């Protein structure tokens, strides 16, 4: 009988075109298109910012000021301007008259003096990488001055060569490419997946709970000679079905889009990221998300049953999203790792488990603990939902 209730409620949800449009089109077309558009616009804005003219000034004594100006002549989009000696340099930069100032402090003499100070002044809130070529040219000039300083103090060319090229410490990463990419992506992906699980559960939960109250069909359903547990299970399974469908479509769509965009734009990291997920990993990921989807479905169904109208249910669920998704922040904390102990903390553990799954460093017993803990929580919440549904004061508020 649970299957019949599930089928009946699922048909009701399928008749709602808005819900189906969201479940199908959002993860496959809308979300990837939005990400692509935002990425392209962000790249264009960044490139536009880096192509803007940079008005700069050099403040200091001769001949060092002239040498700095000569060193920066080859930097593109850099235009020399005169600074106003009566106005402090930070004010000239903050007002937009200048974007960059190289200040050689009093007593600056890089050839004779061993104590020299110079400053690069700019508005750090407007730094989008356009000042990096200036820093590189100043580093070259600083190396030239260092050579002249050592020659002035009698340091031989052989020793100068060793000082200019000291013992180099090479950083050799031992982690595999999958671990490196998984560490970075794993800090963001849990947010997206948990959000999609909740969004996929929210619309059908509102429709088969508060929506039925508004339409007046809940009373008809309650007349069916079946226990309340059967009715709740049928509704619950419909919500889980749509939630997991939305999540699965999103993952598959993401893999297709990453491969297509990475191939067309020659972005190897996108293709590598798509190839990281094999069928076994995909099944494990869906298995981890299934009990979490059950947790969300039970909570949202209880809220929807309590609400007297569709609008009231939306108000309740809006604040609930923030409270439920906060545990996903754990994955972004420094040193956060999935262990045998915290693998039993429901909801909290899912973000760490997804991160380890992407990195390929997971242990099956830890994933089993994550699945079991969230399954237990889902079962308890479903039992509470059944008890909630059995109260006439809740159903007919």
CATH of the domain at 57: 3.40.190
| Count of structural domains, the chain | 2
3-state secondary structure of 74: coil
Q: How confident is the model at residue 9 (pLDDT cuts 50, 70, 90)?
A: low
Q: Domain for residue 42, yes or no?
A: no
Helix, strand, coil % in the chain, rounded to nearest 5: 70, 5, 25
Tell me what pLDDT residue 278 has: 74
For the segment 143-185, what is each residue's pLDDT rounded down to a tens digit? Answer: 888 888 888 777 777 766 666 666 667 777 776 766 766 666 6
Residues 213 and 325 in one domain: yes
Return all residues near 126 (Cβ < 8 A) that are at least 6 apart: 99
Q: Are residues 116 and 151 in the same domain?
A: yes
- Predicted confidence at residue 113, as pLDDT, reads 77
**Position 192 in a domain:** yes
DSSP string, 126-155: G-SSTTHHHHHHHHHHHHHHHHHHHHHTT-
pLDDT of res. 356: 80
Q: pLDDT digits over 115-149, tens only?
A: 778 889 998 888 888 888 889 999 889 888 888 88
Residue 274: predicted pLDDT: 62
Q: Which of 349, 341, 340 is nearest to 375 (CA)?
A: 349
Give pLDDT, residue 5: 61
313/355 same-domain check: yes
| 386 and 294 assigned to the same domain | yes
Say how far apart CA 321 and CA 179 lie, in whole Å. 30
Q: Are residues 158 and 195 in the same domain?
A: no
How many whole angstroms separate alpha carbon 275 and alpha carbon 258?
9
Which residue bears the tokens 């809740």?
394
Is residue 348 assigned to a domain? yes
- Residue owning tokens 């600056």: 108
Q: Is the pLDDT of residue 25 over 80?
A: no
Cβ burial, residue 192 (10 Å; 0-12/13-18/19+)? middle
Residues 271 and 205 reside in one and the same domain: yes
The predicted pLDDT at position 376 comes to 92
Q: Does position 374 have pLDDT exceeding 80, yes or no?
A: yes
pLDDT value of residue 124 = 87
Other beta carbons within 10 angstroms of residue 80's beta carbon come to 11
Q: Which residue has tokens 């993401």?
A: 254
Q: What is the dihedral of CA 193, 299, 238, 309, to 10 degrees?
A: -110
Higher-confidence residue of 72 and 324: namely: 72
C-alpha to C-alpha distance for 83 and 93, rounded to whole angstroms: 10
| Domain co-membership, 280 together with 226 | yes
Which value, to the nearest 10 degrees, does the dihedral of the CA atoms of residues 351, 352, 356, 362 take?
Answer: -120
* 299 & 198 share domain: yes
In a domain, 40, yes or no: no
184-190's contacts with Cβ under 8 Å and 24+ in sequence apart are 185/273, 185/358, 186/331, 186/354, 186/355, 186/356, 186/358, 186/359, 187/331, 187/332, 187/355, 189/354, 189/355, 189/358, 190/328, 190/331, 190/350, 190/351, 190/354, 190/355
Does 197 have pLDDT greater than 80?
yes
Token digits for 200? Answer: 């996929």
Q: Which of 121, 139, 164 is the last residue of a domain?
A: 164
Q: How far apart are CA 285 and CA 325, in angstroms?
A: 18
Quickly list DSSP for 18-68: HHHHHHHHIIIIIHHHHHHHHHHHHHHHHHHHHHS-EEEEEES-TTHHHHH
The DSSP symbol for 118 reads E
| Final residue in a domain of this structure, among 124, 142, 164 | 164
Render pLDDT for 331-354 as a digit per residue (tens, 0 to 9). Answer: 667 667 777 878 888 877 888 888
User: Are residues 210 and 343 both part of a single domain?
Assistant: yes
> In the 8-state DSSP scheme, what is residue 87?
S
Instruction: Residue 37: count other Cβ atoms within 10 Å of its Cβ.
Output: 10
Domain boundary (134, 164, 194) is at 164
Residue 235 sits in the same domain as residue 97 = no
| DSSP conformation class of 77 | T
What's the pLDDT at 166? Answer: 61
Inform me whether the pLDDT recorded for 98 exceeds 70: yes
Return the pLDDT at 189.
76
| In the chain, % of residues over pLDDT 90 | 4
Does 193 share its domain with 285? yes
Q: Which of 191, 206, 156, 166 is nearest to 309 (CA)?
A: 206
More confident residue, 270 or 295: 295
Structure tokens at 346: 């429901």
| 240, 293 Cβ separation under 8 angstroms | yes
pTM for the full predicted model: 0.67
Q: What is the mean pLDDT of residues 228-254?
A: 83
Contacts of 346 (CB under 8 A, 6+ apart): 295, 373, 374, 376, 377
Q: What is the extent of the structural domain holding 154?
A: 53-164
Angle at 322 between CA 396 and CA 366, to 5 degrees: 105
Residue 37 in domain: no
**62-72 mean pLDDT:** 90
227, 313: one domain: yes
Give the span between the Cα atoms of 174 and 389, in whole angstroms: 55
Q: What is the overall mean pLDDT for the chain? A: 78
> How confident is the model over 189-214, as a mean pLDDT?
80
Residues across the chain: 397
Residue 169 lies in a domain: no
User: Is residue 44 in a domain?
Assistant: no
Express as a percent the part of the chain with pLDDT over 70. Answer: 76
pLDDT of amino acid 269: 58
């Amino acid at each position: 009988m649970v299957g019949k209730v599930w089928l009946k409620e699922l048909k009701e949800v399928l008749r709602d075109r808005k819900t189906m449009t969201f479940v199908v089109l959002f993860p496959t077309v809308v979300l990837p298109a939005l990400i692509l558009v935002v990425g392209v616009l962000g790249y264009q804005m960044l490139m536009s910012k880096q192509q803007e003219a940079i008005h700069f000034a050099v403040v200091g004594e001769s001949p060092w000021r002239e040498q700095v100006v000569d060193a920066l002549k080859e930097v593109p989009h850099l235009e020399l301007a005169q600074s106003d000696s009566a106005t402090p340099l930070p004010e000239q930069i903050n007002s937009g008259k200048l974007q960059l100032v190289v200040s050689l402090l009093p007593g600056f003499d890089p050839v004779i003096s061993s104590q020299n100070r110079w400053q690069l002044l700019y508005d750090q809130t407007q730094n989008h990488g356009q000042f990096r070529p200036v820093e590189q040219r100043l580093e070259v000039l600083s190396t030239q001055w260092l050579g002249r300083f050592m020659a002035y103090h009698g340091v031989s060319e052989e020793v100068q060569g060793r000082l200019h090229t000291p013992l180099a410490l090479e950083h050799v990463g031992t982690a595999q490419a999958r671990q490196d990419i998984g560490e970075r992506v794993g800090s963001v992906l849990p947010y997206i997946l948990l959000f999609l699980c909740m969004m996929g559960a929210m619309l059908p939960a509102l429709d088969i709970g508060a929506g039925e109250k508004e339409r007046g069909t809940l009373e008809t359903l309650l007349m069916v000679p079946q226990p309340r547990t059967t009715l709740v299970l049928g509704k619950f399974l419909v919500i889980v079905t749509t939630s997991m469908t939305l999540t699965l479509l999103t993952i598959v769509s993401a893999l297709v889009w990453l491969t297509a965009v990475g191939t067309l734009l020659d972005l190897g990291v996108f293709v590598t990221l798509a190839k990281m997920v094999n069928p076994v990993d995909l099944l494990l990921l869906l298995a981890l998300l299934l009990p979490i989807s059950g947790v969300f479905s039970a909570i949202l169904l209880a809220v929807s049953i309590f609400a007297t109208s569709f609008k009231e249910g939306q108000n309740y669920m809006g604040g609930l999203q923030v409270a439920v998704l906060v545990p996903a922040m754990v994955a972004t904390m420094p040193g956060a790792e999935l262990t045998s102990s915290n693998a039993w903390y429901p909801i909290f553990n899912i973000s760490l488990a997804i991160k380890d799954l992407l990195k390929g460093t997971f242990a099956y017993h830890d994933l089993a603990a994550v699945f079991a803990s969230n399954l237990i929580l889902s079962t308890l919440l479903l039992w509470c939902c059944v008890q909630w549904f059995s109260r006439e004061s809740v159903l007919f508020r």
